[in-house]
Amino acid sequence: MLILSIDSSATAASVALMEDSKLIGEFFVNTDFTHSRTLAPMIDNLLNVTGKSVADIDLVAVSNGPGSFTGVRIGVSVAKGIAFPDDLPCMAVSTLEAMAYNLVLTDCIVCAVMDARRNQVYNAMFSIEYGEVHRLCEDRAISLEELKAEISQQYEGKRIILVGDGSTITMRELMDLPKSVEMAPEALRFQRASSVALCAQSRINSGEVPKKSAELLPSYLRLSQAERERKEKQLADNKSE
């Protein structure tokens, strides 16, 4: 099975090709260019240098959030655009779950955190044992204070590794906890399309059925700032009437 995977859920963007559980190519960029400008050329170049074509792809996998609202939308849209003409099967992968696969060879508790602003992070917890990733909670938006309390109560004494762009702010919050909490090395800390592919392959192996491209949807976890402000304005207007 040849999997084309895409991640554009944060500042960095990456695409990867994995064939029969072997990574055969990955492009990663971390620039100020918009993902709408970088993803398509990266996919074209990756297919060219690996000697593959869209006709060879068996599955398109994409991280569908949480993350940057714009970045997630672009990634899902690109995946749909590639899959739709040939009706290729698709799989949406949680950005947080995919990041846990960065550490798939390390037995630990993975605390995946993305900066959600307003003193919150997008978060999910995972355990890794003997190369297998197990989800411990659903994806959520949670305050740093609440996350600290949960870690101190439920995971005391366990090795916890932070991944994601929220690692630094989370580490500051957890500084006074036991030194079993650490940040992943920078090369393993952020989203990668290769981990999206690993996660998708694991789900396929577990019997999950891929979706059609039309069924791919972003997962934001909470309203955008514009939507929140509009909702607050509507509530204020209703109260004034």
DSSP designation for 85: T
What does the pLDDT look like over 142-188, one tens digit per residue? 999 999 999 999 998 899 999 999 999 999 999 988 778 999 999 99
Spatial distance between the Cα atoms of 83 and 31, rounded to a whole number of angstroms: 26
At residue 31 the predicted structure's pLDDT band, cuts being 50, 70 and 90, is: confident
At residue 199 the predicted structure's pLDDT band, cuts being 50, 70 and 90, is: very high
In this structure, are residues 127 and 178 in contact, taking their beta carbons and an 8 Å threshold?
no
Residue 236 pLDDT > 60: no
Joined tokens for residue 35: 């993902």
Q: Name the phi and psi angles at 66, rounded to 5.
A: -75, 175
Instruction: Give ∠ CA 166-171-177 in degrees, rounded to 5.
Output: 145
In this structure, are residues 112 and 65 in contact, taking their beta carbons and an 8 Å threshold?
no
Task: Look up the pTM and report it.
Answer: 0.91
Residue 229 pLDDT > 70: no
User: Is the model more confident about 240 or about 54?
Assistant: 54
Percent of the chain at pLDDT > 90 equals: 85
Joined tokens for residue 72: 């997630």
Residue 40 pLDDT > 50: yes
Token pair 């917890």 is found at 125
Q: Where in the chain is the domain with CATH 3.30.420.40?
A: 2-94+191-221, 97-189
At residue 228 the predicted structure's pLDDT band, cuts being 50, 70 and 90, is: very low
- Dihedral over Cα of 9, 14, 20, 21: its sign: negative
Joined tokens for residue 108: 């630990």
N-to-C CA span, the chain = 60
Q: What is the pLDDT of residue 234?
A: 58
Residue 36 pLDDT > 60: yes
- Dihedral over Cα of 137, 6, 60, 199: its sign: negative
Residue 88 pLDDT > 70: yes
Question: Options 3.30.420.40, 3.40.50.920, 1.10.10.10, 3.60.21.10; which CATH number does 2-94+191-221 get?
Answer: 3.30.420.40
CATH architecture of 97-189: 2-Layer Sandwich (3.30)
